[in-house]
């Protein structure tokens, strides 16, 4: 293994990690507020395609990112309307959202398949930092989305742990009826969390088509939305741990395409099972521990709230 | 401020779920018309083509029925778990596990007589699906681990297992280096009933009838439904919850596995990574639309099969397959919404606070 290929691997680990982190943070927000959204894969696909289209039409990567985030939030709001507004089953609505998102993405993008990108988010130059050995090319030569993901992680962590809004949000996910009694709108909190989650999934999709593989093709999200769902559990619903998990899972994605160049005789397909197997393992560990201390999952996760039924 | 809120109806609207499904179809039809217009097609022409291709003649019916078989079995798998309030999101993976097990039998039993080979393949498929469900079942029954996530994760593992097999150990040496598994032997094909509709229809129908009777009309099924509606009641009446969870989830996986076996012997020539083609996820939707009632699954699967086959047929008219995917999603959301509104009515509160106060005064 040469130095250059190792640097390439670590660079890709960080960028895939950021991609997963953005989507997982979105899912974490929704789940913290009590809403399981299994539509991440669909929201990512819509974010990816709308970012690409907006890039081609507007020629501005930041406008494209904004369009993708708004589209993600809009799509997530469909889930919000059905599960929070009507109290429909979250699992069914979320899976339907994935179907809707994948269908919409294919429909919207059919005239853009194979086109050159109109806008790209190019790596940020950090002056002297970018020239440092090892650290420079791995950490200080990344697309802006990587730093945005880090910033979002810190923001989500701060908002959830140290602000009144975050407290209310977590309360809505733990016990909706007492949140309601305390005068907060469970409806408003949950809807906003779901929409914000969709915006982050959209941003994650945009990162794909504006930077990682700047083109549109159907199926470009390749199941990464499901990894994001897994990450939230892997990270025990804590933004920091989810970030560490994102790097580990990002590493498996980065390694998958490089095994052969490293001369490792191991099936990349088997390697790609790793995130799911790791998540299952962590889930078992959490539940064995849960006999001694409470489970980290929000208590009201998956439960609809209708005031008259409390 | 007048604020809308949902209030439980004393009785659900008559027609309930079929009505909800109908409304879902209607909404999809309206949205579809708009989408088709926007893309420059003639909606009426497209719809009549969809109808002809899915229900127009015996050949069309055969395609629809062949699609309804895996949808119905997957839907049944989800509905059996759902009768007890459990979510099996892993039907997709269990279908693949079933297909892997059946393909393995086809590999070792290449010279067995047809009826024995097919029977063994289907039994293996049942076992394969059941085995993949054992982990989530044990984890839920013994440790209380949420089965939604464990079954969901195993889907991703199962599809990669299929990919690995057909890229590696099971790659056909005669496939010119394409990642293809070898064809199953000729005698391993299910016989056809009419046109190209295969014997799987009878298998699926039989399994659905047996499961419906078991859930609706036996003591076992009664306990299951009690456990599904209230854990506490179940405990008081001495029902062993963990044993029930274990059997129901494994049974659910086994039924999904059978779907994979039937798909391999009925419609596919060989094990492929698209052998499940989303049937497991569609099965969740079929089961939800059938309100988790095994008996309702057959009807919904047939309708859903027709929508899917019709949707595929219009690709020859230049309509992208994504339109049919979007239409499916709209059927779903329409039905979800209508399902809720058949049980709840929308009331306008003059002031949200005042109703809150009323409740707290109770």
Is the pLDDT score of A302 beyond 60? yes
Chain A nearest-CA distance from B4, in A, is 10
Per-residue pLDDT reduced to its tens digit, A39-68:
999 999 999 999 999 999 999 999 999 999
Of B149, B157, B344, which has the smallest distance from its Cβ to A283's Cβ?
B149
Q: Are B144 and B264 in contact (CB under 8 A)?
A: no
A290–B328 CB contact, under 8 Å = no
Is the pLDDT score of B167 beyond 80? yes
B153–A279 CB contact, under 8 Å = yes
Whether B289 is covered by a domain: the verdict is: yes
The pLDDT of residue B116 is 95
Of A98, A103, A233, which has the smallest distance from its Cβ to B149's Cβ?
A233
Per-residue pLDDT reduced to its tens digit, B75-119:
999 999 999 989 999 999 999 999 999 999 999 988 999 999 999
Q: Residue A289 and residue B8: Cα distance in Å, rounded?
A: 39
Whether B5 is covered by a domain: the verdict is: no
Per-residue pLDDT reduced to its tens digit, A217-245:
988 998 899 999 989 988 989 999 999 99
Rounded to an integer, the average pLDDT of A299-303 is: 84
**What's the number of CA atoms in the CB half-sphere (13 Å) around residue B110?**
6
A254's tokens: 């980065």
- Phi/psi at B348 (nearest 5 deg)? -100, 115
B310's tokens: 């019709």
Query: Which domains, from first to last, does chain A contain?
Result: 3-309 (1.10.3470)
B357: pLDDT confidence band, cut at 50, 70 and 90?
A: very low
Is the pLDDT score of B15 beyond 70? no
Rounded to an integer, the average pLDDT of A154-177 is: 94
Q: Residue A173 and residue A302: Cα distance in Å, rounded?
A: 9
Q: For B173-243, where are the E strands, in sequence order?
A: 192-194, 197-198
Q: Are B338 and B16 in contact (CB under 8 A)?
A: no
Chain A residues 288-307 with CB within 8 Å of chain B:
288, 290, 297, 302, 306-307
Chain B nearest-CA distance from A24, in A, is 15
Whether B111 is covered by a domain: the verdict is: yes
- Least confident among A62-76, A249-263, B263-277: A249-263
Is the pLDDT score of B356 beyond 60? no
Is the pLDDT score of A182 beyond 60? yes
- Least confident among B4-18, B46-60, B125-139, B237-251: B4-18
Say which DSSP state B127 is in.
H
A307–B89 CB contact, under 8 Å = no
The pLDDT of residue A238 is 94
Give me the residues paired with residue B7 across strands: B345
B17: pLDDT confidence band, cut at 50, 70 and 90?
A: low
The closest alpha carbon to A210, from A19, A8, A76, belongs to A19
B322–A230 CB contact, under 8 Å = no
Per-chain mean pLDDT for chain B:
87
**Burial class, B183, CB count within 10 angstroms (exposed 0-12 / middle 13-18 / buried 19+):** middle
Domain that holds residue B247: 69-294
Q: Which residue has the higher pLDDT, A148 or B240?
A: A148
Say which DSSP state B276 is in.
S
Please report how the helices B147-167 and B114-138 are oriented relative to each other, as an axis angle in degrees rounded to 10: 140
Chain B residue numbers with beta carbons less than 8 Å from the beta carbon of A181 are: 360
B144–A36 CB contact, under 8 Å = no
Is the pLDDT score of B288 beyond 60? yes
Is the pLDDT score of B10 beyond 80? no
Is the pLDDT score of B164 beyond 50? yes
Whether B330 is covered by a domain: the verdict is: no
* Three-state helix/strand/coil letters over B25-63: HHHHHHHHHHHHHHCCCCHHHHHHHHHHHHHHCHHHHHH
In sequence order, the 6+-apart residues with CB closer than 8 A to the CB of A5 are A258, A261, A262
B326–A103 CB contact, under 8 Å = yes
ipTM given for this complex: 0.87
| CA-based radius of gyration for chain B | 22
Give chain B's domain count: 1
Percent of chain A with pLDDT over 70: 98
């Amino acid at each position: 293994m040469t130095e250059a290929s190792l640097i390439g691997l670590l660079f890709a680990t960080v960028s895939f990690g950021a991609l997963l982190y953005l989507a997982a943070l979105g899912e974490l927000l929704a789940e913290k507020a009590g809403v399981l959204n299994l539509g991440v894969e669909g929201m990512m696909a819509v974010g990816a395609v709308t970012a690409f289209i907006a890039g081609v039409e507007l020629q501005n990567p930041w406008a494209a990112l904004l369009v993708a985030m708004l589209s993600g939030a809009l799509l997530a709001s469909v889930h919000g309307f059905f599960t929070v507004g009507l109290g429909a089953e979250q699992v069914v609505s979320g899976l339907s959202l994935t179907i809707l998102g994948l269908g919409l993405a294919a429909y919207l993008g059919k005239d853009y398949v194979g086109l050159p990108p109109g806008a790209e988010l190019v790596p940020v130059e950090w002056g002297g930092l970018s020239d440092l050995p090892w650290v420079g090319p791995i950490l200080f030569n990344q697309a802006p989305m990587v730093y945005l993901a880090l910033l979002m992680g810190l923001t989500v962590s701060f908002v959830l742990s140290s602000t009144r809004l975050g407290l209310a949000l977590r309360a809505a996910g733990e016990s909706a009826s007492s949140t309601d009694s305390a005068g907060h709108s469970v409806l408003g909190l949950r809807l906003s969390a779901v929409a914000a989650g969709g915006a982050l999934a959209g941003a994650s999709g945009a990162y794909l088509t504006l930077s990682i593989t700047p083109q549109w093709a159907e199926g470009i999200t390749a199941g990464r939305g499901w990894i994001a769902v897994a990450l939230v559990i892997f990270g025990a619903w804590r933004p920091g741990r989810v970030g560490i998990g994102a790097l580990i899972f990002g590493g498996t994605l980065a390694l998958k395409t490089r095994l052969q160049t490293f001369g490792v005789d191991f099936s990349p397909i088997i390697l790609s099972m790793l995130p799911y197997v790791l998540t299952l393992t962590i889930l078992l560990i959490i539940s064995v521990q849960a006999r001694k201390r409470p489970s980290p999952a929000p208590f009201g996760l998956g439960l609809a709230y209708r005031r008259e039924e409390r | 401020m007048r604020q809308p809120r949902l209030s439980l109806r004393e009785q659900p609207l008559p027609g309930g779920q079929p009505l909800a499904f109908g409304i879902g179809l209607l909404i999809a039809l309206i949205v579809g018309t708009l989408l088709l217009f926007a893309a420059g097609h003639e909606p009426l022409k497209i719809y009549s083509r969809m109808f002809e291709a899915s229900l127009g003649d015996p050949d069309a019916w055969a395609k629809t029925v062949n699609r309804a078989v895996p949808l119905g079995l997957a839907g049944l798998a989800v509905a059996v778990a759902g009768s007890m309030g459990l979510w099996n999101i892993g039907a997709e993976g269990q279908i693949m596990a079933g297909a892997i097990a059946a393909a393995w039998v086809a590999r070792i039993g290449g010279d067995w007589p047809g009826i024995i080979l097919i029977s063994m393949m289907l039994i293996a498929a049942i076992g394969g699906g059941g085995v993949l469900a054992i982990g989530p079942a044990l984890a839920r029954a013994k440790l209380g681990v949420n089965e939604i996530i464990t079954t969901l994760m195993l889907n991703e593992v199962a599809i990669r297992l299929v990919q690995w097999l057909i890229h590696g150990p099971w790659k056909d040496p005669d496939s010119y280096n394409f990642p293809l598994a070898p064809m199953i032997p000729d005698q391993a094909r299910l016989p056809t009933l009419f046109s190209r509709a295969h014997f799987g229809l009878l298998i699926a129908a039989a399994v659905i009838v047996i499961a419906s009777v078991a859930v609706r009309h036996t003591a076992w099924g009664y306990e299951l439904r009690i456990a599904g509606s209230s854990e506490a009641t179940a405990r008081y009446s001495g029902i062993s919850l963990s044993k029930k969870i274990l059997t129901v989830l494994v049974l659910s996986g086994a039924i999904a596995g059978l779907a994979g076996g039937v798909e391999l012997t009925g419609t596919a020539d060989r094990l492929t990574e698209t052998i499940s083609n989303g049937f497991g996820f569609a099965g969740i939707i079929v089961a939800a639309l059938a309100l988790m009632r095994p008996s309702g699954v057959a009807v919904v699967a047939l309708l859903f099969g027709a929508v899917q086959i019709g949707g595929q047929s219009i690709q020859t008219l230049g309509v992208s397959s994504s339109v049919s995917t979007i239409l499916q999603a709209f059927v779903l959301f329409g039905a979800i919404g209508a399902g809720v509104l058949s049980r709840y009515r929308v009331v306008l509160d003059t002031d949200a606070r005042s109703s809150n106060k009323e409740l707290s005064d109770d």
